[in-house]
Structures are given as C-alpha cells and as structure tokens.
Amino acid sequence: MSDYSLELNEDQIQITKWVHEFAENVIRPAGPEWDEREETPWPIIEEAAKIGLYSFDFVSQAFSDPTGLLMCLVNEEMSWGDAGIALAIFGSTLAVAGIFANGTPEQIGEWIPQCFGSPEDIKLAAFGVSEPDAGSDVSSLKSRAVYDEAKDEWVLNGTKTWITNGGIANTHVLVLSVDPALGSRGQASFVVPEGTPGISQGQKFKKMGIRASHTAEVILDDCRVPGRCLLGGKEKLDDRLARAKEGKKTSTQAAMATFEASRPIVGAQAVGIARAAYEFALDYAKDRKQFGRAIVENQAIAFKLADMKMHTDAARLLVHRAAYMASTGKRFENGEGSMSKLYAGENAVWVTEQAIQNPVEQWHRDSKIYTIFEGTSEIQRLVISRAISGIHIN
C-alpha cells in the first residue's frame, strides 16, 4: 500500500468541515430530545436534505471517492454529533451498499435514487438480513424467495428482525434464501419497492442506545416482486447456484458483500462517538479544579486521557486503512474490514466508560451497539482468525 497517504485532500477537508458544522449546530443540540423520544427525527433529516447532505448526489460523491475515506470522514463527524440521529440520516446507505454490491448497473441507476427521494419528498431505505433465529449465523436464513416462472415474479415469505428503518422505509433491500440446501451460497438480495403488497412492519424495538434510529421487524407474507427486483439478475443467480451445487467456488454471499463494504463505515461511526467522549473528558479535566489545580494535572487523569486519545486515533487508522483497501480493490487478507469495526466498536465502549458524565452517559449507551450489529465482536474475531490462519469459508 505504498500509494496510501494519511494526508486528506482539499475536497475531503472542506466536506468534513461542512459536515462537522451541521453536526455541531444541528445534530448535537437535538440529540438528547430525540434520544428521549425514541422516534425518527424527521425535522433533522429534512434539514439534512435541504442542504444536500441527505441526497443521492452526496452519497454517490462520497462512495465514489477514489481513496475510500470520504464516507468514513462524514460518518465520524455525524456520529460525533449524535450517533442515533446520524444513523437515522445515513441508515439508508446500508441499502445503497447492498444495491451497489449486488446489483447490475441498470439496477443501481434505478433503485439507489429511490432510496433518498428529494428534499420535497424524502424517502428512506432499509437493508435486512437478520432473522429471529439467524443473527450472526447468516447461513441459516429461513426466509424464502420462490420464483414464479409463469409471472416472472419472486414470492417472498419470512420475518426479518433488528432492521434499521424496517417497515417505515420506502425501499427495502432484503437477503433471502432461494436454495436452503446451499446455506449462504443459496441466498440472494431482492429489492422490495414502495407500495408492494405483502410487506409490513412487525414489532418496533425499544433500545438501550441509538434510540433516534428506528429498528423493527419486517414481515413478508406472500410478498410478490417483479423478476427485475432480484439484484444481479436471474442468469447470474442460476450460474452461481449451479456452481455451488457442483462444489465449485462461488462469489461472495449476498449479505457478506454488503457487510464487507460497510464495516469501515460502521467503524467510523464508533470513532466519532469515542472522539466526542474523549473531547468532553479532556475539556472537563481542564476546567475542573481540585486542591487548587486542574485535575488534568493529576497524572492518573492525564494518563487515562492519553490512552483514550491513542486508542481512538488507532481506531481511525484501522478504519481508514480498511476503507482505502476496499475502495482500491485490495483484498482483505487478514480481515482488515473486521479489524476496523471490532477495534473501533470496543474502543468506543471503553472510552465512553472512562468519561461517564452527562452527556457521555447517552454516548455510552449508543456505543454498545457497535460491538453487536453488523457482526458481533465475536464474529469479527472469527473472521480475522480465519483470515490469518488461511481458513476460507465460501
């Protein structure tokens, strides 16, 4: 990676400043209210849409950054403001990642703009893999997609759970099994467009943290979608299934293709939380006086702050490395994507624990999800250990 640079270019610097101003002036002041309400912060999403932050054009620009860093920079700043509101604003991008990872150019052009809508008609999107009996083990999905050849339609049935924007999204991107006997290799991604009969919201979950982000079940009951809603197309799917049945190596499974692209971004969100907590703790230590001097002059306090800063910067470096590798087509030989998410998530929990004063109490609650969703810490360690030992699972 000799061409990798730690120096940000001028566009990245200016966009990061712009997003930070929005996070500082709009998101952070609203954080406690929407955390308490446990509702989707529509007024904040509308503000983001008005300035072009919540838009197809901006997300396309961020994803197309050749260094891979811009989406991470943006997510760090947004989560520095408030992770729950940030996820409410950028939760749609997980569905976007699913379409990018698995769709044809025509499908990308058709569906991704519909994930955002316009400032006058805002749309949301959701990506769903997990099920009541299939969380970390995505190979055991029970939701089914059955092809109706006579009508060129797919019939979808099952329950998805813990889905960001689940049920309230206008566009859902869902991973289902088309051939259960093949496990993860028998899965495919489908777009369920707005207004499709047979899809509904189930239980909405109350959560410890990121409470401004809507999380719910998605119920599929004989939900029919046109054949063109199969991401990648049926010819590609049939070829992949045939190769899997013959025991040949197949392309990355539908769910993992999305998670590989999103893990550094999720790690960046955790970095934003940790940075916010560290900065709060540092300012507090400088202002708080005991025995006639600021407590930051106490070596025990100063050393703890030094560790918080060091580990947060290390987390950012892991995130940026993984984002750069993914963007430039460098293979994760050692589970680098999982490393970034694992380290950043666990660091966010640790840093917020060290700085547990209001408003850090909310940030601590927000941080815990980063050791759970999009692959638990245990799953990340499994991915890394298999990568470094040379064990590869199709």
Catalytic residues, by residue number, are 374
C-alpha closest to that of 312 among 271, 342, 363, 356? 271
- Please calculate the CA angle 55-58-60 and round it to the nearest 5 degrees: 105
Cα separation, 351 vs 372, whole angstroms: 17
- Secondary structure (3-state) at 8: coil
Contact at 8 Å (CB) between 264 and 340?
yes
Using DSSP bridges, classify how beta strands 171-177 and 215-226 pair: parallel, antiparallel or unpaired: unpaired
- How far, in Å, CA of 139 to CA of 253, rounded? 9
Query: How would you classify the pairing of strands 171-177 and 125-128?
Result: parallel
Look at the chain and count its residues: 394
SS3 content of the chain, % helix, strand, coil (to 5): 55, 15, 30
Distances (CA, A) of 386 to 244, 336, 380, 381, 382: 21, 12, 10, 8, 6
Sign of CA dihedral 319, 385, 188, 246: positive
Which among 355, 372, 358, 223 has a CA at the least distance from the CA of 279? Answer: 355
CA-angle at 389, arms to 387 and 391, nearest 5° = 65
CB 282 within 8 A of CB 394: no
